[in-house]
Structure 1
Amino acid sequence: MAVGRLIRPPATTISPRAAEVDADRLAAELHTRVRGEVRFDPGSRATYATDASNYRQAPIGVVLPETVDDGAEAVAVCREFGAPVVSRGGGTSLAGQACNVAVVIDWSKYCRRIVSVNPRRRTAIVEPGIALDPLNNQLEPYGLQLGPRPSTHVTCTVGGMIGNNSCGSTAQVYGKMLDSVLRLEVLTYDGLRMWVGETSDEEYRRILAEGGRKAELYRGMRELRDAYLADIRTRYPDIPRRVSGYNLDSLLPEHRFNVARALVGSESTLVTVLRAEIQLVERRPARALVVLGYPDVFAAADAVPRITPHQPYALEGLDRRLVQLEHMEHLAEEAIRQLPEGSGWLMVQFAGTDQDEVDRRGRRLVDELTAGRDGPTVAFLDDPRREDELWKAREAGLGATAYPPQGRETHEGWEDAAVPPERLGAYLRDFHALLDRYGYASASLYGHFGHGCVHTRIPTDLRTAEGIAAYRRFAEEAARLVADYGGSLSGEHGDGQSRGELLPIMFGERVVRAFGELKALFDPDNRMNPGKVVHPYRLDENLRQGTAFRPWQPRTHFAFPNDDHRFANAAARCVGVGKCRGHEDGVMCPSYRATREEEHSTRGRARLLFEMVAGDVITDGWRSDAVRDALDLCLACKGCRSDCPVDVDMATYKAEFLSHHYAGRLRPLAHYSMGWLPLWARIAALAPHAVNALTHTPGLARLVKAAGGVTPQRELPRFAERRFTDTVRGAGDGRLGTVLLWPDTFTNSFHPQIAHAAVAVLTDAGFGVTVPDRTVCCGLTWISTGQLGVAKRVLRRTLDALAPQLRDGTPIVVLEPSCAAVFRADLPELLNGDEDAHRLAGQTRTLAELLTERAPDWRPPELHRRAIVQPHCHQHAILGTAADRAVLDRAGVAAEVLDAGCCGLAGNFGFERGHYAVSMACAEDKLLPAVRAAEEDTLVLADGFSCRTQIEHARTGRTPRHLAEVLAGAVRRR
């Protein structure tokens, strides 16, 4: 470590006492005194350089404290060096409050404990890093939950919710996070640690009598409140979603001088939150959803005052533009089909403990609204599955609007204003006119209409001086419009940098001066998240893009057709919503679930790639070791391609990066062994018995695995005595035509019985079956290891071999899901513009897809069995499971498709040395427990070679089977 590396925070936001920070000495002291992880390397700084906002500020370093006491010690060390500090939770802040030239304290990896629960009082004390969904899961046995539920509930942390005063849809009944906070344990930058909450006059006198820094703070807050009492009472909008500014109104006598609530929403600019005592609410398991259709979103907003007296649990609005975008992007399609006729909709949810009562409340609302003429169209849903589908459609709003097809990219910045709900319709008409005047009218309008809160992402140009200047003028006009309506610039996302500069328009100069005095009282040296809320950065500086944005545009193997054929655009695709940091459902992101490391999330890796093309923090391009290390634990599962709201495809980015990183250099040994598996399989076919003896004899096997970079804990797969292609006989023509059965390496060389089973099924269904007359391969193993030059040569040979079938439109049936996914997704992007590549993508079918599409009347004898099904990750991401469900249903198999995430083996990943622990952690997350818990007579289905291998490796006592084998078993009973 080179001692003396100085980082100079922006002078306009830093006190003269600490204009420079010796980052290397600071890092060394933190390493010595703080348990946890201290990271000042370029990769970590790049990972935390932005949040979900338009802004980017590379931090001085990152600390992941092991306990809250370690977090407090980290602040103490930073104080000694004069280093600014910012706390970070889920990193999903939309206003720039979670990034700064500071030491970032990330609480989310370790400090996520529930300290205590008091079911009688319905309270809990929690640490700041616990995410909302895991918190509520742990509270479920008590029948309790935290009230507010932002759309980022899978990843937002309680500390972040306190910092931003978060709300979500359930704020309709539970209010903002402020309303759920009872007490806070906080730490000031100068070292005072205390619990704060309501303050009686008696307690206030006791604090003053004790003297010291705490007395100074309390006396100062009381004096500040009294000096600005009239302004606080008159300038704070009396609306349910006032989130902007500091909560000085919580210091009023009628609110019992509540210091905890005054600090909620202060965005890490005043104190560091160490623990929180929160108020919990009873769960309301009974739900009913009424969806109301109106001619447009303005008419929907006009109807809000008629609905709120019915006391809904949530009242959300969305416009036709959002629905169109979700339809075009194939998001929430089932949910969209349930919407009643209209061009603007209100989703009115009722909740309680009695389903009949909840349903009656919903029907009373419908009866009232439809009693007269010109009533809304109505859809009444009381099926929880259908309700969940519609809520997911609403929560998908950010992803759907971020990159609209055939449209300009959109941005946050003015996505969160709130006005009195009774004036929402008029406000939206004026706001839409403002959008139209600036050429932003394609923006979608949606949000928490019951509280007058409107979300939108606007197609602003943040790359040119003219575009940025136009956005500044728009934001100022929009702020004045909201203020004229008696609203708040922020309705739940906070001020940060996006809106901090505009606060005088809303509050007036005197209240903003009071904010500055409160900041000076708690943080006189401006070390706590400087430049946010108070003395803010301008809304048009520190932009991720900006006029100086000129990313590197390297030549690539993949075409990146959805990103204007530019890798830099793909690297910038992530909008930071952080869904990849969830643990509840889907596939994304298995390595984050195992490690809880930001750099091992899809978002963290995307940030590193962005910094690589930006060339500031990451300066060595494709040769970057920091990027390579972050991508090393990417399983290339492709889960993000379907689960990410904006379709980040990290598997493709990883393959592209590896191809350049190792160009002209020695690769890891596993790239030569597992990456060239199709070649070794062909060679092994000459003497499979001898090869199996070599790879499974103790001693020899260890040498073979060491030479191939394979982890010693894995047993190498056994080659079949005879390959499928060595024994198959063509099935001739069938009444439904002929199909080509693709002999992928895994099926052909290891599990040929699956291919034979597929032939039996296909011929029984009425198809003739043929196979290629020469050795072919999809190139998967070369793609996953980034050997893209070889992969393209292999794929071109494959296209040549399949030319007759591609000319006559023969379906290509692929049994291994990962190989089918290559043909559907990777092939046309690697050989972009090659018509045969696009033909093969269009003609590729899984066995289930072919049977549902081409043989809809085929029925095998019913098996009358139950099954659990583990979909391959690539199937989840690219192919889907609807056809498999349908075919299993035909066969009389009651199938439960597991939502168990990635199996953890993921092709070569789980075999490579250094990956075993993560691989097994992924499997033990949900998959292996589900397999072990299955009844003995329940079938275990897994079409993916990796999934079957992982289940067998874990010695679950179960033999997983391919769909073809199950169907063939039914066919053979005829």
Structure 2
Amino acid sequence: MTRMAEVDTAGLTTALRAAVDGEVRFDAGSRGTYATDGSNYRQVPLGVVVPRTVAAGARAVEVCARFGAPVLSRGGGTSLAGQATNAAVVIDWTKYCHALVSVDPDARTCVVEPGIVLDELNRQLSGHRLQFGPKPSTHSHCALGGMIGNNSCGASAQAYGKTVDNVRRLEILTADGARMWVGPASKEERARIVAQGGRRAEIHEGLERIVGEYLADIRTGYPKIPRRVSGYNLDSLLPENGFDVAKALVGSEGTLVTVLHAELELVPVPPCQSLLVLGYDDICAAADDVPRLLEHCAPTLLEALDDRMAQLMREEGAYLTSLDALPDGDCWLMLQFSGDSQDAVDEQALALLRAVGRDEKDATVAFSDDPEREHRMLKAREAGLGVTARPPDGRETWEGWEDSAVPPERLGDYLRDLKKLFDDFGYDHPSLYGHFGQGCVHTRIPFELTSADGVADFRRFLERAADLVTAYGGSLSGEHGDGQARGELLTRMYGERLVTAFAELKALFDPDHRMNPGKVVHPRPVDGQLRLGPAWRPATVTTHFGYPDDEHSFTRAVMRCVGIGNCRSHAGGVMCPSYRATKEEEHSTRGRARLLFEMLGGHADSAVTDGWRSTEVRDALDLCLACKGCKSDCPTGVDMATYKAEFLAHHYARRVRPAAHYSLGWLPVWARLSRVAPGLVNSVLQAPGAARVGKRLAGVDSARRAPVFAPESFLRWWRARAADAPDPSDPRTVVLWPDTFTTYFHPAIAISAVRVLEDAGFRVAVPGDTVCCGLTWISTGQLALAKKVLRRTLRVLRPYLEAGTPVIGLEPSCTAVFRADAPELLPTDHDVRRLAGQFRTFAEQLVHHAPDDWRPSAPAGRATVQTHCHQHAVMKDDADRELMRRAGLDAVFLDEGCCGLAGNFGFERGHHEVSMAVAEQGVLPAVRAAAADSLLLADGFSCRLQIEQGDTGRRGLHLAEALALGLDGHPPGDHPEHHAQRPPEPSLAGRWATTAGAAVLTGAVTAAAGRGALRRLHRRT
């Protein structure tokens, strides 16, 4: 095997940079980011090349060959068998090489570059009503090059087959530089190719020789099942199968050639669908019924979900609406039918029910032709990997035997024997689910991979499982490929002769063993190069956050990332805005988690060696917006915002911080100081020359306009109101939380909230002393100060906490602190836990606790709603939707991701471009497209500010403002957002001649005061 020391990496780096139009990275951060995929394995690459064109990628392969460097061609990096991790030069095609080159609608074909993501391909094909048939669960982020490499399938393979069944031709590049298109070749065509000579002729002659020598073995040695993915597709070279070289290369996992382009076969998008779900008492009984069902129908998909997965969903509180849509039973089979008319599709399902003696009205039957309901039910099945990866009981589960396949008619018996095998090893109750219509079984098993005994059991289990599936006439892999997880086991499935044929095929295409070495052929051991393993010794670190869901361990928290890659999706949800803007693996949630894992050490070859002081980790986290989208959208609940705050706290401990940490991180202090002369402060902040100097001193990006302080704060308005403080024990009393953003920038929101709450019969109290949630200190990693701020706040709120008085938050990010961050920062403080239970959103209070006879009102009509990322992640928006419904608003909630401002992120120097790129990918275009007469609602300060500064011509309202305007009876079309009492932009007229000098002084004093105050606080602690 080639080791890094054997390759002239310095010379290779120089040559690649000179020859390749792309990004060439041999730094520790890039190598650590690509050190693993979605599997149990880890190998630090030599370096990473991100080509800007397919030709540049081909040139990179040629340069690597000249230096004897191995090559790993990589797509989405979600491989579960270890085929996308190697000590090689990784070529990542996904950032630039993602074009749909051409489409032939009549022939139903298209040509693509290897980096195009499946969902994006199908989106571009949607105008032709065509799609690529196979659809794995990673469809939002898997690349076609990776699908070809792994021979991916997915649920839709029931109707459309595997990737190999949908590939017409491939443009390939061999390790020695031969570039050619390959596909089916008749005997006459092969003779013509051989006559031309050259490397192409050599390959075709060699293929004919291999097929001729092993003809009988190929015809008899491949299991005749729908889901055989293991091994090379030598059967595609049989004369009766058209001697198809392209199909023979599908599923070869980058071990034979590099795929540069692919010509794909397409299928029509079915106009109508329906879903039938059948309940069973036992997953084996459900499997027993599969052959009977298939006798009577030809569904588009036939999926299974078992009781263990349903149990995990309930324990995690995830996908509950999906479970609620399922019929009675502990396990379920889901059958989808497709066709040209809804009547015909529905009849397929009903005919099946009649044939098997069931009825649509049975409690164990659910039938739907409502796409939304179908989506909810299928979501439960699609969530399998994420739900089973980190069970609430704390056991970690792992791949390794996660996609075996047998003949569907033998599936039930196979599952019974597999369960017995689990019992023999003490692997208690792994979930069993998957593509039962094709006999493919998914599971994750609680292997113990950190001790010698546990790893030995892991190996013994895989060997026995391989023998078991082979005895059933099945395949080691029915979807995910061999890689390192199953390459060593192929002899048990195919025998020595066919595995020898695989080696000869490898030698024909890659004689020097440079293409993804150690996978499939001459494989590394199944228990080698483990991401964990008995030699893994990560650093033990003391942390600020408590990580209660991860056994109070930062290491276990980081290990939540198992490489699923949902953070690399391009649309929908919130996660991960920085990846969507940059298309950089390092700036995905997964990439950051990988670097944090490397930072913790544990391996002798860890790419990151300076722990908390790591500049590689700091740079990767720099573009994390701390939006918390991953906390909810990541299937395993990675919370990168918390990990970033933790890292920054240690990285800058006893060091001078960036200026923005003092200016933006201490915003609550400066906001209170602004009350001395808010008009003067606004003039200084907005004056062109002065603002530019002040921003530079404060670490604020010069392109970002500062928000305008309100002439009168909410607290001053409240005190001038001179209302009697209500009794905390009065059940009608609520505390309105005076967050910094609402109080000092948009006090009309709090004033509106007071009006609405009082209209609903509540008595409003506001804390009489200074309080703060500490959000800005948390987001900048000043966690010791954040704890001090929180403890002071708890002392002020103590009378309300003891009385159980609800506290109502208006700013979602502050509410999320008390519901999520504060309990983790102060895990042993009972008052924090009390406050977390008493802190409610404005909508939650009105929906769940207002008198039954109270009805909200709002300006009638439509509303476009942008949900704050922290609300999406922590509190959700169910109550908001219900409150708007009661108020008569026809609300459309945007699903366009993060606004891109994200608190301090969009203000910090160097972040403006990414901030606006994130906004322009979804939120700002959606706002511009919203009807002019509709309300625009955005409860988050960051969201409103980004919308106002994003050339939309719109101003977002808080829901409290909309309801208050409803009290005033504003009619539809009155542009009620104009009625919000927001401070105007300060006039340039009358600004004093020394404004520039004042701004410079203000910026310098602010930065110096911040650093000085921080030093004093450190001395006191």
TM-score range, shorter chain: over 0.9
1:534 aligns with 2:527: no
Which of 328, 331, 335 aligns to 1:344? It is 331
1:924 aligns with 2:920: yes
Aligned partner of residue 661 in structure 2, secondary structure: helix
Measured at CA, do residues 861 and 188 of structure 1 come closer, stay the same or move farther in structure 2, by a change above 3 Å?
closer
- Residue 392 of structure 1 is matched in structure 2 by 379
Rounded Cα–Cα distance in structure 1 between residues aligned with 2:412 and 2:724: 67
1:607 deviates by: 0.3
- Which amino acid is 1:530 matched to? P
- Residue 831 of structure 2 is matched in structure 1 by 836
Aligned partner of residue 825 in structure 1, secondary structure: helix
Which of 653, 658, 674 aligns to 1:668? It is 658
Rounded Cα–Cα distance in structure 1 between residues aligned with 2:339 and 2:926: 32
Rounded Cα–Cα distance in structure 2 between residues aligned with 1:409 and 1:601: 23
Aligned partner of residue 442 in structure 2, secondary structure: coil
Could you report, residue by residue, the CA deviation over 1:67-122 in whole angstroms, capped at 9, with x for unpaired residues? 11111100110001000001100000000000000000000111000111000000
348-357 or 792-801, larger mean C-alpha shift: 348-357
Which of 539, 543, 546 aligns to 1:559? It is 546
1:441 deviates by: 3.0
1:420 aligns with 2:415: no
- Which amino acid is 1:747 matched to? T
Could you report, residue by residue, the CA deviation over 1:687-746 in whole angstroms, capped at 9, with x for unpaired residues? 111111111122111111111111111111111111111121446559851000000000
Which of 145, 160, 167 aligns to 1:159? It is 145
- Residue 775 of structure 1 is matched in structure 2 by 770
Which of 877, 890, 896 aligns to 1:894? It is 890
Which of 910, 915, 926 aligns to 1:914? It is 910
Rounded Cα–Cα distance in structure 1 between residues aligned with 2:67 and 2:609: 27
Could you report, residue by residue, the CA deviation over 1:623-675 in whole angstroms, capped at 9, with x for unpaired residues? 10000000000000000000000000000000000011111111111111111
Q: Is the 8 A contact 1:868 1:938 kept in 2?
A: yes
- Residue 591 of structure 2 is matched in structure 1 by 604
Rounded Cα–Cα distance in structure 2 between residues aligned with 1:863 and 1:380: 39
Aligned partner of residue 277 in structure 2, secondary structure: strand
- Residue 801 of structure 2 is matched in structure 1 by 806
850-859 or 643-652, larger mean C-alpha shift: 850-859
- Residue 481 of structure 1 is matched in structure 2 by 468
Could you report, residue by residue, the CA deviation over 1:917-952 in whole angstroms, capped at 9, with x for unpaired residues? 110011111111111111111000000000000000
- Residue 951 of structure 2 is matched in structure 1 by 955
Q: Is the 8 A contact 1:732 1:738 kept in 2?
A: no
- Which amino acid is 1:793 matched to? K
745-754 or 436-445, larger mean C-alpha shift: 436-445
TM-score, normalised relative to structure 2: 0.93
Q: Is the 8 A contact 1:369 1:376 kept in 2?
A: no
Which of 690, 696, 700 aligns to 1:710? It is 700
Measured at CA, do residues 73 and 801 of structure 1 come closer, stay the same or move farther in structure 2, by a change above 3 Å?
same
Aligned partner of residue 909 in structure 2, secondary structure: coil
Aligned partner of residue 362 in structure 1, secondary structure: helix
Which of 820, 823, 828 aligns to 1:825? It is 820
Aligned partner of residue 303 in structure 1, secondary structure: helix
1:331 deviates by: 1.6
Aligned partner of residue 386 in structure 1, secondary structure: helix
1:860 deviates by: 2.5
In the alignment of these two chains, the number of paired residues is 960
1:973 deviates by: 3.5
Aligned partner of residue 670 in structure 1, secondary structure: helix
Q: What is the root-mean-square deviation in Å for CA atoms of aligned residues?
A: 1.5
- Which amino acid is 1:99 matched to? T
1:905 aligns with 2:901: yes
Mind listing any 5+ residue stretches in structure 1 that lack a counterpart? 1-7, 11-17
- Residue 871 of structure 1 is matched in structure 2 by 867
- Residue 63 of structure 2 is matched in structure 1 by 77
Within 5 Å, give how 1:595-744 maps onto structure 2: 595-614=582-601, 616-728=606-718, 729=721, 730=723, 733=726, 737-744=732-739
Q: Is the 8 A contact 2:210 2:501 kept in 1?
A: yes
1:393 deviates by: 1.1
- Residue 14 of structure 1 is matched in structure 2 by none
- Which amino acid is 1:144 matched to? L
Aligned partner of residue 508 in structure 1, secondary structure: helix
- Residue 1006 of structure 2 is matched in structure 1 by none
Mind listing any 5+ residue stretches in structure 2 that lack a counterpart? 971-1021
1:117 aligns with 2:103: yes
Aligned partner of residue 683 in structure 1, secondary structure: helix
Rounded Cα–Cα distance in structure 2 between residues aligned with 1:790 and 1:441: 45
Within 5 Å, give how 1:87-98 maps onto structure 2: 87-98=73-84
Q: Is the 8 A contact 1:76 1:191 kept in 2?
A: yes
- Residue 1005 of structure 2 is matched in structure 1 by none
857-866 or 24-33, larger mean C-alpha shift: 857-866
1:863 deviates by: 3.1
Which of 232, 241, 249 aligns to 1:263? It is 249
Rounded Cα–Cα distance in structure 2 between residues aligned with 1:327 and 1:139: 37
Measured at CA, do residues 214 and 368 of structure 1 come closer, stay the same or move farther in structure 2, by a change above 3 Å?
same
Aligned partner of residue 350 in structure 1, secondary structure: strand
853-862 or 697-706, larger mean C-alpha shift: 853-862
Rounded Cα–Cα distance in structure 1 between residues aligned with 2:731 and 2:928: 41
Rounded Cα–Cα distance in structure 2 between residues aligned with 1:968 and 1:244: 64
1:206 deviates by: 0.7
Q: Is the 8 A contact 1:748 1:755 kept in 2?
A: yes
- Which amino acid is 2:72 matched to? V
Which of 3, 9, 18 aligns to 2:2? It is 9
1:233 aligns with 2:223: no
365-374 or 868-877, larger mean C-alpha shift: 365-374
Aligned partner of residue 457 in structure 2, secondary structure: helix
Aligned partner of residue 63 in structure 2, secondary structure: helix
- Residue 102 of structure 1 is matched in structure 2 by 88
Rounded Cα–Cα distance in structure 1 between residues aligned with 2:859 and 2:561: 46
- Residue 580 of structure 1 is matched in structure 2 by 567
Which of 756, 764, 772 aligns to 2:759? It is 764
- Residue 15 of structure 1 is matched in structure 2 by none
848-857 or 453-462, larger mean C-alpha shift: 848-857
Rounded Cα–Cα distance in structure 2 between residues aligned with 1:413 and 1:863: 57
Rounded Cα–Cα distance in structure 2 between residues aligned with 1:611 and 1:261: 38
Within 5 Å, give how 1:26-45 maps onto structure 2: 26-45=12-31
Could you report, residue by residue, the CA deviation over 1:564-588 in whole angstroms, capped at 9, with x for unpaired residues? 1111111221010100000120000
1:19 deviates by: 7.7
Aligned partner of residue 536 in structure 2, secondary structure: coil
1:563 deviates by: 1.2
- Residue 13 of structure 1 is matched in structure 2 by none
1:502 deviates by: 0.4
1:956 deviates by: 1.1
TM-score, normalised relative to structure 1: 0.97
Aligned partner of residue 317 in structure 1, secondary structure: strand
> What is the identity percentage for the equivalent residue pairs of Structure 1 and Structure 2?
63
Which of 284, 293, 298 aligns to 1:298? It is 284
Aligned partner of residue 902 in structure 1, secondary structure: coil
- Residue 242 of structure 1 is matched in structure 2 by 228
Rounded Cα–Cα distance in structure 2 between residues aligned with 1:777 and 1:838: 17
1:374 deviates by: 14
1:373 deviates by: 14
Rounded Cα–Cα distance in structure 1 between residues aligned with 2:858 and 2:594: 51
Rounded Cα–Cα distance in structure 2 between residues aligned with 1:9 and 1:551: 27
Rounded Cα–Cα distance in structure 2 between residues aligned with 1:723 and 1:71: 58
- Residue 1015 of structure 2 is matched in structure 1 by none
Q: Is the 8 A contact 1:84 1:528 kept in 2?
A: yes
- Residue 328 of structure 1 is matched in structure 2 by 315
Q: Is the 8 A contact 2:760 2:851 kept in 1?
A: no
728-737 or 254-263, larger mean C-alpha shift: 728-737
689-698 or 118-127, larger mean C-alpha shift: 689-698
